[in-house]
C-alpha cells in the first residue's frame, strides 16, 4: 500500500490538516496517486495510532469540525526512507479504453471513434496543463535536489500524455479506416477474407 507513504511525503513537505492534504492531492500528488478525503482521514488516523505522525498541539483540543494539523515523527520519516528503496515491481496498467478496443473486435466498433476523439481532447488538455506547470515552476535552472526530482516526476506525466496522444491518433486513424472499409463492403459485398 502506498497511500500512507504519499501522505508522509506530503506532510514532510509541509505539516497539514486532512482537508489541506486532500486539496494538495487534488493538485500535485493526485496526478499520479489520487485519494479522496475519506481515504486520507482514515489513513491519518492509522498513522497517528502507529506513531508515524502526531497532531500538532493547537489552541484548543480539536473536536469534530475543528482543524487538526499533523506533522511527521522520526519513526514515520524512517519508514518512508525505507520504502523509497524497497523492491517493488511495476504493476501493469489498467485501462478500460484498451479493453474496449479489444471488445470492439468481437462486437463491432460502433460509437468507439467518438470516445477515442474525446479521450484525445482530454489528454491534449492535460498535456497543456502539465506544460504550463513546467514553465511556471521549473522555468530556469539553479534548482534544489527536491526540485529536480519533482521536475523529473512531472516529465513522466508529460511524456505519458504524449504517449497517449500519439497512440490515440493512430487509433483514430485505424478506426476511420475500418469504417471506410465497412462502408465499401456494403456497396461491393464483403471481401473473401470475411
Q: Read off the DSSP letter of residue 72.
A: E
- Report the site for a copy of itself in 6-45 (rule: CB under 8 A): 6, 8-9, 12-13, 29-34
- Report the site for a copy of itself in 100-129 (rule: CB under 8 A): 100-112, 114-115, 118-119, 122-123
CB 157, CB 130: distance < 8 Å: yes
CA distance 134 to 23: 20
Per-residue mark of binding to DNA, 10-39 (x: CB under 7 A): -------xxxx-------------xxxxxx
- Which of residues 65 and 140 has its CB atom nearest to a copy of itself in the complex? 140
- Which of residues 35 and 116 has its CB atom nearest to DNA in the complex? 35
Q: Which of 15, 54, 56, 68 binds DNA (CB under 7 A)?
A: 68
How buried is 3 (Cβ within 10 angstroms: 0-12 exposed, 13-18 middle, 19+ buried)? middle
In sign, the C-alpha dihedral spanning 188, 189, 193, 194 is: positive
A 10 A CB-CB count for 183 gives: 10
CB 10, CB 24: distance < 8 Å: yes
Q: Which of 41, 83, 138, 167 binds DNA (CB under 7 A)?
A: 41
Q: Does 188 bind a copy of itself (CB under 8 A)?
A: no
Least separation in angstroms between CB 136 and DNA: 23
Q: Which of 61, 63, 144, 186 binds a copy of itself (CB under 8 A)?
A: 144
CA 2 to chain centre: 13
Binding site for DNA (CB under 7 A): 1-3, 17-20, 34-39, 41-42, 44-45, 62-69, 94
Amino acid at each position: 500500500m502506498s497511500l500512507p507513504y504519499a501522505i508522509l511525503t506530503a506532510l514532510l513537505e509541509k505539516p497539514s490538516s486532512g482537508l489541506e492534504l486532500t486539496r494538495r492531492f487534488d493538485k500535485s500528488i493526485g496526478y499520479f496517486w489520487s485519494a479522496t478525503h475519506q481515504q486520507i482521514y482514515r489513513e491519518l488516523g492509522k498513522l497517528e495510532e502507529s506513531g508515524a505522525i502526531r497532531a500538532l498541539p493547537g489552541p484548543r483540543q480539536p473536536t469534530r469540525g475543528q482543524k487538526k494539523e499533523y506533522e511527521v515523527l522520526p519513526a514515520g520519516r524512517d519508514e518512508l526512507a525505507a520504502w523509497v528503496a524497497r523492491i517493488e515491481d511495476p504493476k501493469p496498467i489498467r485501462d478500460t479504453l484498451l479493453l474496449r478496443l479489444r471488445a470492439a473486435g468481437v462486437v463491432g466498433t460502433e460509437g468507439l471513434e467518438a470516445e477515442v476523439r474525446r479521450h484525445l481532447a482530454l489528454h491534449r488538455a492535460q498535456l497543456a496543463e502539465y506544460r504550463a506547470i513546467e514553465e511556471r515552476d521549473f522555468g530556469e535552472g539553479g534548482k534544489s535536489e527536491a526540485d529536480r526530482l519533482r521536475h523529473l516526476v512531472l516529465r513522466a506525466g508529460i511524456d505519458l500524455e504524449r504517449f497517449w496522444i500519439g497512440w490515440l491518433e493512430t487509433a483514430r486513424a485505424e478506426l476511420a479506416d475500418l469504417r471506410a472499409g465497412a462502408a465499401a463492403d456494403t456497396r461491393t459485398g464483403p471481401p473473401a477474407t470475411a
